[in-house]
């Protein structure tokens, strides 16, 4: 290998030629169309478009209005599901905020008040203490106290009620499906593609059919939430059960367990710590989705944010957003503590001695119940004592905007002109025919002809659905955001890995960023940059940053100590050590992080449709507002297909790199 001339491999030639061709075609596609008078070059011919939208809408119509399964109609089924969800939800709402009543409207008679705010806080403190210790109990208690003091109590309780209904259903359902998949290989095989699709189809896309099936309101929101939050639980369950050591299962069989006993007395209890990780995920995804689902009637904190954004009420939006953050932190820390909980010795003695905390909580609940009848402040946190931060936030934003408007504008302009617009132009110009071929070629090059054909077919589906232009906007926005997120995230990850103290801070921050519902990211971005591609990009970067940082840090830390020492003994400087030894070895991990970043970016992009992008997300969002299920699903599938292609390509790259490194 000569050092003077950088070695050119066939691989490099392939990529350079592919890029150059694409670039040339992109630049000249319009001229080409004019010269040849062939409009089909830049636009997929309308008359060949797949009438998929219509089919789906017709199918849903049929399902709702005429479908009949022998004993019951489809409508009966959806009604039954609605009842199963609605009843516990209403009970929880009554318990947490509305109180129990009989009769309607004027004649309503209150039977019992809701739990007092003090009682709710007592319960969460006890849960925190049970899950870990007093420190956690204090944190959770403070979070809920915050909600009371800052006047977010009612909305927060509505959100909490949704979470408390959706989480058990999602967790138990996921567990059940996971156990079935573990025990029946054919079910596992059937389930896997469904899970893949459910996790890549953007949430808005299935809001539409659900809306049609269940109507506007909390039930729809909860159904969507459960569908959204369940797949990770299924996956975690399968993994957790498989990870139970074979010998433990054999020990169960040798003890004479029946199949059922193996599941419930051996597998599930042994896997509980891992299963709790799944429950934690269900809780966080549920919260995320409950917030988003405020668009179809979930109410609560999400609705407050949404309506503030629509009214451009900056203070109110930030206030509600912070309440979401606080709630997310409380739920995350508490549920995480459960997965790390140590088994503890059961106490002995009488009922109160055995359960001192439950006992205390029951006493507090009953006590405040009685006291609350005489002292209203015990029942509901007094309005007069709430602190509203809304004016403060409005003023702060005002101040920021007055003083930094020009700076922000300048940054925005530079990035728009220098990066976003050229990239957008490049992607927008690619003729759809070549686009399909190019994606196929890339996938083929990375992982063989099977993936190549699949990728090309999926892209062809998008083109044939008439969504090519919007898909290109999605790809461009996703690409730019992922690029910037990587450029910011990997150095942060390196920093975190090399400097343990900084690492703790950075990784802690990333953990918190990841627990925040995606909706929250829109708030500051809109306030500072208003609507448009740029705002969307910033929100996506913030949301998708965490995995880039985490995986880079993790990859670097996982580099075997011996190899680092070997490098040091060979006389590497710290810089050489990083570039020559650690980074190459960490590439597979970094690529996995990139994969996650892309997935998160795509899911966030759909939500940024709310701040006015013109991509597939917008298409889905329009479908949602028009309740056009076909349109929503087709656009949603298109996003899912892009996600699947990206996922397979990046994963193949990571695998290839692993093979090359022999790990």
Partner 1 sequence: MSTSVILDCRNVWKLYGAQAESLLAQNPAPDAEMLKEAGVIGAVRAANVQILKGEIFVIMGLSGSGKSTLVRCLSRLVEPTAGEIEFDGQDLLRATDAELIEIRRKKMGMVFQQFALMPHLTVLENAAFPLEVQGVDRATRETRAREMVELVGLKGREGYHPRELSGGQQQRVGIARSLVVEPDLWFLDEPFSALDPLIRREMQDEFLRLQSMLKKTIVFITHDFDEAIRLADRIAVMKDGVIEQVATPEELVRNPATDYVAEFTRHVARAKVFRARSVMEPLTADSFAGEVAHDATIEDIAAQVEGADAPFRVMRDGAAVGQITARAVIDVLVGRV
- What minimum distance in Å lies between the beta carbon of 347 and partner 1? 12
Contact 610, 522 (CB under 8 A): yes
Asked if 185 is part of the footprint of partner 1 (rule: CB under 8 A), the reply reads no
How far apart, in whole angstroms, are the C-alpha atoms of residue 446 and residue 655? 10
Which residue's CB is nearer to partner 1, number 249 or number 396?
A: 249
CA-closest candidate to residue 204, choices 522, 626, 620, 608? 620
Cβ 281 to partner 1, closest distance in Å? 21
- Closest separation in Å from C-beta 272 to partner 1: 6
- Verify binding: residue 341, partner 1, rule CB under 8 A: no
- Rounded Cα distance between 621 and 202, Å, is 11
| Residue 197 is a binding residue for partner 1 (CB under 8 A) | no
- Judged by CB under 8 A, which stretch of 90-98, 212-220, 253-261, 306-314 contacts partner 1? 253-261
Q: Should residue 349 be labelled a site residue for partner 1 when binding is judged by CB under 8 A?
A: no
- Is there binding between residue 382 and partner 1 (CB under 8 A)? no
* 239 touches partner 1 by CB under 8 A: no
| Residue choice 73, 90, 263, 272 for contact with partner 1 (CB under 8 A) | 272
Of 27, 183, 192, 253, which one interacts with partner 1 (CB under 8 A)? 253
Site for partner 1 contains 245 (CB under 8 A): yes
Stretch near partner 1 under the rule CB under 8 A, chosen from 36-44, 247-255, 389-397, 534-542: 247-255
At residue 436's C-alpha, the angle toward residues 431 and 442, to 5°, is: 120
Q: Does 576 sit near partner 1 (CB under 8 A)? A: no
> Is residue 535 involved in binding partner 1 (CB under 8 A)?
no
For partner 1, the closer CB: 247 or 561: 247
Enumerate the β-bridge partners of residue 109: 102
User: Which residue, among 163, 159, 161, has the nearest Cα to 301 in the 3D structure?
Assistant: 159
Query: Cβ neighbours of residue 599 under 8 Å, at least 6 residues apart?
Result: 200, 643, 646, 647
Report the residue number, 270 or 518, with the smaller CB distance to partner 1.
270
DSSP codes of every residue in 407-464: HHHHHHHHHIIIIIHHHHHHHHHS-HHHHHHHHHHHHHHHHHHHHHHHHHHHHHHHHH
Nearest to 297 by CA among 374, 186, 220: 220
Is residue 614 part of the contact set for partner 1 (CB under 8 A)?
no
> In the complex, what is the shortest distance from the CB of residue 182 to partner 1, in angstroms, rounded to a whole number?
18
Which of 51, 215, 269, 448 binds partner 1 (CB under 8 A)? It is 269
Residue 361 C-beta: closest distance to partner 1, Å: 25
- Choose, by CB under 8 A, the member of 12, 258, 407, 573 that binds partner 1: 258
HEC secondary structure over 270-332:
HHHHHHHHHHHHHHHHHHHHHHHHHHHCCCCHHHHHHHHHHHCCHHHHHHHHHHHHHHHHHHH
Angle of helix 218-243 relative to helix 203-214, nearest 10 degrees, comes to: 130
Closer of 272 and 380 to partner 1 (Cβ) = 272
Q: Which residue among 38, 251, 385, 414 contacts partner 1 (CB under 8 A)?
A: 251
Nearer to partner 1 by C-beta: 239 or 627? 239
Smallest gap from residue 170 Cβ to partner 1 (A): 23
Indicate which single residue of 7, 105, 107, 247 sits in contact with partner 1 (rule: CB under 8 A): 247
Does residue 347 touch partner 1 according to CB under 8 A? no
Q: How far apart, in whole angstroms, are the C-alpha atoms of residue 345 and residue 351?
A: 15
Token pair in block for residue 623: 């479908």
DSSP string, 621-651: HHHHHHT-HHHHHHHHHHHHHHHHHHHHHHH
Pick the binder of partner 1 from 270, 535, 587, 589 (CB under 8 A).
270
Shortest reach from residue 250's CB to partner 1, in Å = 5
Q: Which stretch binds partner 1 (CB under 8 A): 222-230, 233-241, 250-258, 328-336?
A: 250-258
The stretch near partner 1 (CB under 8 A) out of 32-40, 96-104, 249-257, 436-444 is 249-257
Member of 164, 266, 282, 635 binding partner 1 (CB under 8 A): 266
CA-nearest of 522, 97, 96 to 302 is: 522
339 contributes a contact to partner 1 by CB under 8 A: no
- For the CB of residue 262, give the shortest distance to partner 1 in the complex, in Å: 9
Of 94-102, 162-170, 266-274, 313-321, which segment contacts partner 1 by CB under 8 A? 266-274
**CA 331 – CA 162 distance, rounded (Å):** 13
Judge contact between 143 and 326, C-beta under 8 A: yes
Rounded CA-CA distance 261/535 in Å is 54
Backbone phi, psi, residue 298, to 5° = -75, -25
**354 versus 499: smaller Cβ distance to partner 1:** 354
Instruction: Please identify which residue in the block is written with the tokens 């309005």.
Output: 383
Q: How far, rounded to the nearest angstrom, does the alpha carbon of residue 376 sit from its chain's CA centroid?
A: 40
Stretch that binds partner 1, among 187-195, 197-205, 251-259, 544-552 (CB under 8 A): 251-259
- Helix, strand, coil shares of the chain, percent, nearest 5, are 85, 0, 15
Under the criterion CB under 8 A, does residue 36 sit at the interface with partner 1? no
Tell me how far, at minimum, the Cβ of 252 lies from partner 1, in Å: 8
Q: Which stretch binds partner 1 (CB under 8 A): 267-275, 437-445, 528-536, 556-564?
A: 267-275
Nearest to 460 by CA among 427, 438, 491, 436: 436
Task: State how far Cα 608 lies from the chain centre.
Answer: 13
| DSSP SS3 for 229 | helix
Stretch that binds partner 1, among 27-35, 256-264, 471-479, 525-533 (CB under 8 A): 256-264
How many chain residues bind partner 1 (CB under 8 A)?
20
Sign of the Cα torsion 21, 22, 23, 26 reads: positive
Residues that bind partner 1 (CB under 8 A): 245, 247-248, 250-258, 261, 265-266, 269-270, 272, 343, 345
């Amino acid at each position: 290998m000569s050092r003077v001339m950088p070695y050119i491999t066939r691989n490099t030639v392939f990529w350079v030629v592919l890029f150059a061709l694409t670039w040339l075609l992109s630049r000249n596609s319009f001229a080409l169309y004019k010269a040849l008078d062939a409009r089909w070059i830049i636009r997929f011919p309308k008359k060949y478009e797949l009438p998929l939208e219509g089919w789906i809408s017709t199918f849903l119509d049929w399902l709702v209005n005429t479908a009949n399964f022998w004993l019951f109609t489809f409508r009966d089924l959806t009604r039954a599901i609605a009842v199963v969800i609605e009843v516990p939800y209403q009970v929880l709402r009554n318990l947490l905020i509305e109180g129990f009543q009989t009769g309607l409207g004027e004649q309503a008679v209150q039977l019992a008040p809701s739990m007092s705010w003090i009682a709710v806080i007592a319960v969460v403190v006890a849960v925190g203490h049970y899950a870990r210790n007093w420190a956690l109990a204090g944190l959770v208690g403070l979070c809920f106290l915050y909600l009371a003091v800052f006047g977010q109590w009612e909305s927060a309780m509505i959100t909490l009620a949704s979470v408390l209904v959706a989480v058990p259903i999602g967790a138990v359902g996921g567990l059940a499906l996971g156990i079935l998949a573990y025990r029946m290989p054919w079910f596992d095989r059937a389930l896997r593609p469904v899970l893949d699709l459910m996790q890549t189809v953007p949430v808005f896309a299935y809001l539409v059919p659900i809306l049609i099936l269940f109507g506007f309101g909390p039930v729809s929101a909860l159904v969507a939430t459960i569908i959204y939050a369940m797949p990770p639980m299924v996956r975690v369950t399968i993994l957790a059960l498989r990870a139970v050591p074979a010998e433990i299962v054999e020990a169960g069989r040798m003890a004479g367990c029946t199949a059922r006993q193996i599941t419930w007395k051996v597998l599930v209890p042994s896997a509980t710590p891992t299963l709790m990780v799944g429950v934690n995920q269900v809780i966080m995804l549920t919260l995320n989705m409950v917030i988003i689902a405020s668009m179809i009637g979930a109410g609560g904190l999400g609705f407050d944010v949404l309506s503030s954004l629509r009214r451009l009420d900056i203070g109110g939006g930030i206030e509600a957003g912070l309440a979401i953050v606080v709630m997310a932190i409380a739920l995350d820390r508490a549920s995480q503590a459960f997965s790390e909980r140590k088994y503890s010795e059961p106490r002995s003695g009488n009922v109160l001695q055995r359960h001192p905390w439950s006992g205390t909580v029951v006493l507090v609940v009953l006590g405040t119940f009685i006291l609350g009848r005489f002292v209203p402040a015990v029942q509901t946190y007094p309005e007069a004592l709430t602190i509203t931060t809304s004016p403060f936030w409005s003023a702060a934003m005002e101040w920021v905007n007055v003083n930094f408007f020009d700076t922000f504008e300048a940054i925005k302009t530079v990035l728009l002109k220098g990066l976003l617009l050229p990239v957008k132009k490049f992607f927008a110009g690619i003729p759809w025919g070549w686009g399909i071929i190019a994606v196929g070629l890339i996938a083929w090059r990375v992982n063989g002809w099977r993936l190549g054909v699949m990728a090309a077919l999926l892209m062809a589906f998008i083109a044939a659905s008439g969504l090519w232009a919007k898909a290109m906007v999605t790809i461009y926005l996703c690409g730019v955001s992922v690029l910037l997120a990587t450029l910011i995230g990997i150095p942060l990850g390196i920093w975190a890995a090399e400097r343990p103290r900084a690492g703790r801070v950075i990784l802690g921050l990333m953990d918190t960023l990841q627990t925040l519902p995606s909706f929250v990211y829109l708030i500051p971005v809109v306030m500072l940059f208003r609507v448009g591609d740029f705002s969307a990009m910033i929100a996506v970067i913030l949301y998708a940053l965490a995995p880039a940082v985490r995986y880079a840090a993790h990859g670097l830390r996982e580099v075997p100590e011996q190899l680092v020492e070997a490098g040091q003994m060979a006389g590497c400087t710290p810089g050489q050590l990083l570039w020559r030894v650690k980074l190459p070895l960490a590439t597979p991990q970094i690529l996995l992080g990139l994969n996650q970043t892309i997935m998160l970016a795509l899911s966030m992009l759909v939500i940024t449709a709310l701040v006015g992008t013109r991509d597939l997300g917008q298409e889905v969002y329009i479908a949602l507002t028009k309740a056009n299920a076909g349109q929503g699903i087709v656009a949603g599938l298109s996003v899912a297909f892009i996600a699947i292609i990206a996922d397979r390509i990046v994963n193949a790259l990571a695998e290839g790199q692993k093979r090359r490194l022999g790990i």
